[in-house]
Amino acid sequence: MTDLYAVVGNPIGHSKSPVIHNSFAEQTGEDLFYKAILAPLDGFDTEVKRFMAHGGQGLNVTVPFKENAYRLADELTPRARRARAVNTLKRLENGRLLADNTDGAGLVRDLTVNNGVAIKGKRVLLLGAGGAVRGVLQPLLEQQPAEIVIANRTISKAQDLASDFSDLGQLSGQGFADLEGVFDIIINGTSASLAGELPPLPEGLLNAKTVCYDMMYSTQTTVFNAWATRQGALKTIDGLGMLVEQAAEAFTLWRGVRPDTTRVMLELRGERRR
């Protein structure tokens, strides 16, 4: 019998997850079908329970339900517990829900494996202090950067987030205007660039050796990556690879087999060029 999986969010029509996971299934020979579910903003728990009651085996969770999923879960992986946000749910044999957060692992793998960017010993700037940044902090810190600076419009949010993870490495929280010095890696964890906006960043944050990464992706170059190119960054990377790699982490948790992400990324890049 074909196993059922889905991604749940609001909005959800733009999601690439069905294409990605159905491609993974075809590639690995796993017997599953994956679809998208639009959940009412006040109906996440009901949708999840209905899906699982009708034979669903697992869910990906996207905006704005990652904290809802954290509260709904019966069991949490260590990285989900630390992030306090969840993007993957797995139905266990006893019917309980196991929750994970694969976003950070996807980001780190895309940076280090797909793009050859070493994080160890590097000075890293993270823009934003919301759920997207919280979800990637532990995996980034496990790579042993020299320092991570979190910058946000509301300085107290950046400082609180830095305090929450300070036991894992060298962290600080600042306002954008307070940033000083050159960073080796700058990661945009805000959604501003998709709205055609850019955080108010001071000059001099990067040089010709800096790698800039936008966790967002679109058919066109994001505003953040366009800014980084103008500033002379060594390399700019969008979030499509992170999307595929975090999906592969979820697929591995569900099915016990890791798919080839390179092939799927090339397919999606080709789709985006058409």
* 66 noted as active-site residue: yes
ω into 64 cis (within 30 of 0): yes
Quote the pLDDT of residue 191. Answer: 80
pTM of the predicted model, to two decimals?
Answer: 0.94
Quote the pLDDT of residue 272. Answer: 61
Quote the pLDDT of residue 182. Answer: 98
CATH code, residues 104-238 = 3.40.50.720
Largest Cα–Cα separation, the chain: 58
Quote the pLDDT of residue 14. Answer: 87
* Residue among 66, 90, 122, 209 flagged as catalytic: 66
Q: What six digits make up the tokens of 189?
A: 């964890």
Q: pLDDT (tens digit, 9 = 90+) per residue, 142-179?
A: 999 999 999 999 999 999 999 999 999 999 999 999 99
Q: What are phi and psi of 120, to 5 degrees?
A: -55, 130
* Residue 263 CB contacts under 8 Å (≥ 6 apart), including other chains: 23, 27
Name the strands in the sheet holding 123-127, side by side, starting at the edge strand that comes first in the sequence. 171-174, 147-151, 123-127, 185-188, 211-214, 235-237
Amino acid at 35: K
Quote the pLDDT of residue 220. Answer: 87
Domain 3-101+241-273: top CATH class: alpha beta
Nearest to 107 by CA among 265, 247, 245: 245
> Domain residue spans in the chain?
3-101+241-273, 104-238
* Residues of the chain scoring pLDDT < 50: 274
Tell me the pairing of strands 97-100 and 88-91.
antiparallel
SS3 (DSSP) at 244: helix
Give the integer Cα–Cα distance in Å for 103 and 80.
10
Q: Could you write out the three-class secondary structure of 104-125?
A: HHHHHHHHHHHCCCCCCCCEEE
Quote the pLDDT of residue 175. Answer: 97
Q: Is there a shared CATH topology between the 3-101+241-273 domain and the 104-238 domain?
A: yes
